[in-house]
Amino acid sequence: MPAPYPPLESVSRILLGPGPSPVPASVLSALGRPTVGHLDPFFLGVMDELRDMLRAVFQTQNTLTLAISGTGSAGMEATLANLLEPGDRALIGVNGVFGGRMLEIARRLGAEVTQVQAEWGRPLEVEPCRSAAQGRPFKVVCVVHAETSTGVLQPLEPFKELADELGALLVVDAVTSLGGMPVEVDRLGLDAVYSGTQKCLSCPPGLSPVTFSERASRAISARRTPVVSWYLDLSLVQRYWGSERVYHHTAPINMLFALHEALRLVLQEGLDARFARHRLHHAALSAGLGELGLGLPVAAQFRLPSLTVVEIPDGTDDVKARRHLLHEFGLEIGGGLGPMQGRAWRIGLMGEGASRRNVELCLAALTSALRAQGYRAGDDALAAARATYS
């Protein structure tokens, strides 16, 4: 009898959206290594190296540094669920989708939440947060370092100062920044930081690197109530990642092999070189988009190197244009989220994706997609990008 389902065909895309990002061949082949047991001595050695490499990428010495089994949202949930208890005060900045997600999680945890909104496309200002705090003590102050929904970079230093004033721990979402720009955990004194594998680390989605300062670890140890999520309870997870090696859940072995290879590549390239590469290709892309006459709504100093938000010109249909990119060029970019839906595209140059070839392909493909809808795109976008490289 023929098998009811044929094997999956292999579809290859150039991933220049808001994530996942392109995955290097060696990372994909690490996924295909033979699976070993989660307590196999070989695997425990892999975990030790992973922890060291995560510390290097987070630029920290934090003991409590590991990869949560789950995507970036699992890291967000683990961070908040371990730090917050019912009634704890949380000050949360919201200037896009992911600040809103932190807010939702904190509320579900029973925290007393103070929300401070900023306009989408702009960073949060610290003064409105200070006013909203009204001098009361807070358990956490939460901000998104790289808001993937808007392409905005959040300066962290003023929020560290505010957190100190309020006696709070500073929680930072670094899902779209880690591996693409500095996330200086120790230098800036960030207390709890989570990320995801599928952005600037160029690993498939599925794991969430997290790190906690000694102060944050003490706050977890001093909890009055158990963490509501058994699976994400870091005091239990840490007993597996730490020297005790107590079984908690069966680690996603092959994903961790892939992360090991992805981090190895990040460190082999060198953090500074990698950050400079992201900045260079972002500058070239921005120059080309400008030459196409497309608006970049985020002020230049707050633009993320890893994710560029660009306005869709009047008269151009978002979905039709993205379909053109996918069908004619095999290229994926992201649509706008929330109020930006249908009005903006999100172009990611993340990790392996940040390359001259991708910038030039993206500009050529966008020119074609825009012209197909009658937009009068000039011929100089590529030249503008190339001028950046020369």
Helix, strand, coil percentages, rounded to 5, for the chain:
45, 15, 40
Q: What are phi and psi of 166, to 5 degrees?
A: -90, 0
Q: Which is nearer to ligand PLP, 173 or 233 (CB)?
A: 173
Q: Which is nearer to ligand PLP, 145 or 324 (CB)?
A: 145
Binding mask 92-121 for ligand PLP (x = CB under 6 A): ------x-----------------------
Q: Per the structure block, which two tokens stand in for 92?
A: 């949360």
Among 73, 117, 229, 254, binds ligand PLP (CB under 6 A): 73
Q: Distance of CA 205 to CAs 23, 344, 371, 383, Å?
A: 10, 24, 34, 35
- Per rule CB under 6 A, is residue 76 in the interface with ligand PLP? yes
Q: Is 377 left (phi over 0), alpha (psi -120 to 50) or beta?
A: beta
CB of 124 to ligand PLP, least distance (A): 14
- Per rule CB under 6 A, is residue 261 in the interface with ligand PLP? no
Residues 194-213 that bind ligand PLP (CB under 6 A): 196, 205
Among 60, 65, 71, 308, binds ligand PLP (CB under 6 A): 71
Among 148, 213, 217, 286, binds ligand PLP (CB under 6 A): 148
Q: Per the structure block, which two tokens stand in for 175?
A: 């899902």
Report d(CA 319, CA 373) in Å as an integer.
12
Q: Which is nearer to ligand PLP, 70 or 288 (CB)?
A: 70
Q: What is the DSSP string of 27-87?
A: HHHHHTSPP--TT-HHHHHHHHHHHHHHHHHHT---SEEEEEES-HHHHHHHHHHHH--TT
Q: By CB under 6 A, which span of 173-181, 223-231, 363-371, 373-381 interacts with ligand PLP?
A: 173-181
Reduce the DSSP state of residue 269 to 3 states and report it.
helix
Report d(CA 113, CA 116) in Å as an integer.
10
- Per rule CB under 6 A, is residue 252 in the interface with ligand PLP? no
Binding mask 3-42 for ligand PLP (x = CB under 6 A): ---------------xx-----------------------
Counting DSSP H helices and E strands in the chain, the numbers are: 14, 14
- Per rule CB under 6 A, is residue 155 in the interface with ligand PLP? no
Residues that bind ligand PLP (CB under 6 A): 18-19, 71-73, 76, 98, 144, 148, 173, 175-176, 196, 205
